[in-house]
Amino acid sequence: MGLLSNIFGKGKDNENKQEPPKQSYQEWQREKVEEYHVNNRTWGDTWKEIASNELGGMTLVNGKNTHELLEDPEAKHNLSLMLACCKAELERVDIGEGQPAPYYFKRAAILFNKQKEYDKEIKICELYVDAAINWYETMDTMRRSWSSNSHITDAQQRIQKALLKKDKVQKKSD
């Protein structure tokens, strides 16, 4: 994902390698899920602890889970916040925690569209499509076709619309 590197600077801090964990992620996750059930904690609280303590906060934005940011109605209008959420969602996919939530990518695409930055709108949609397809391909237990996922189709349609708008703007300027 070279585009991810360009947008988010992924891979810049590779020189800060840590020693490998003493237990596997799956063992640790199973332990946390058991703890979650015993202590009647919400999964969001448990995941926030996991992300903060074990993952260096890489799936959090401003110390919060991405869905918690939506409690502020103005958050959806903040492009840099939506891009930070996109990055956190991509990190979640990279560690195998789940598929990327399409909302943040769609909001970023809408905000780029409003700014008439169609290339960036296309790139953020492509990032989502690539991440979602890769997630579905790696989840062989789900055994369902990625093409049936409406969020991927929506993002692909948005790419086509943005390309048409970009061409129209270019033709007007010629």
Could you read off the pLDDT of 126-142 as tens digits, one per residue?
999 988 887 777 765 44
The lowest-confidence range among 6-20, 51-65, 93-107 is 6-20
**Can you tell me the mean pLDDT for 84-94?**
85
User: Quick one: pLDDT at residue 61?
Assistant: 80
Q: What are phi and psi of 61, to 5 degrees?
A: -125, 120
